[in-house]
Amino acid sequence: MTDPNNKDEKAAGLSWPRIGGVAFAMALHVAGFMMLMAPVSAPPPPDEEDQVVPVSFTDPPPPPPPPPPPPPEKVVVVTTVVNTPRPSPTPPPPDQPPVVYNDPNANSEVAPPPAPPTVTAAIPVDVAPAQDISANSILKPKYPLEELRDGVTGVVRLRVSIDANGNVLAVVVDKSSRNRNLDRAAIEAVRKWKFNPGMKNGQKVGGDVIVPVNFTL
């Protein structure tokens, strides 16, 4: 231990308490620095809990349906038609030749052949021209108004000349009704009539036809 009253030590400038305090402070700093530099151990990891995974059991899907069976093969029936020739019919036996008796008798006379039919030549018939009543009944003579009002009647006889086709060529009064208007009305109507031509030697011919026209009330 130093003596505080030692003048030599004071003169040398050494202070042991101060040196010890400084050394202690440095030691603390070094210890703290070492503690800081030492690796810090990590805290132990917490115990991991066992993870529970829920598992659900499901039925497996049904197997796919089996493929449909292949269609049955069509059975092709081949029909063979065999034409069996029909047996030809047996011809009938030939007719037996007639028995000819050469012995003459009363019935063995040969009949004479029949006479050929007579052909009568068609003789053409001559026909005179005539009036076509069915066609002319539509074209009746027109009654004159004056004679109709006065009640005049009469019969006109006309001579009509026609050609081979039945057309009217000329009309003349063969016998008058003694009324000019009645005669004129009869002529105008008959000129429009049709007639049947005549026949001579099978050919159509014209001619004259007498036509009476009667005016009555």
Q: Are 154 and 186 in contact (CB under 8 A)?
A: no
At residue 101, the pLDDT reads: 57
Q: Is the pLDDT score of 33 beyond 70?
A: yes
Residue 203, domain member (yes or no): yes
At residue 5, the pLDDT reads: 54
Contacts 24+ apart (CB under 8 A), 133-141: 135/193, 135/194, 136/193, 136/194, 139/189, 139/192, 139/193, 140/189, 141/185, 141/186, 141/188, 141/189, 141/190, 141/213, 141/215
Count helices and strands in the chain by DSSP H and E runs: 5, 7
Residue 174, domain member (yes or no): yes
Residue 85, domain member (yes or no): no
At residue 102, the pLDDT reads: 59
Q: Is the pLDDT score of 187 beyond 80?
A: yes
Coil, strand or helix at 35: helix
At residue 1, the pLDDT reads: 47
Domain hosting 177: range is 130-215
Confidence band for 107, pLDDT divided at 50, 70 and 90:
low
Residue 180, domain member (yes or no): yes
At residue 70, the pLDDT reads: 77
At residue 80, the pLDDT reads: 62
Residue 95, domain member (yes or no): no
For residues 174-203, average pLDDT: 92
Tens-place pLDDT, residues 2-22: 455 555 544 455 677 788 888
Largest CA distance in the chain: 229
Number of domains in the chain: 1
Residue 161, domain member (yes or no): yes
Task: Report the CATH number at residue 193.
Answer: 3.30.1150.10
The two structure tokens encoding residue 41: 């151990």
Residue 156, domain member (yes or no): yes
Q: Is the pLDDT score of 136 beyond 80?
A: no
Question: Which residue has better confidence, 36 or 194?
Answer: 194
Q: Is the pLDDT score of 144 beyond 90?
A: yes
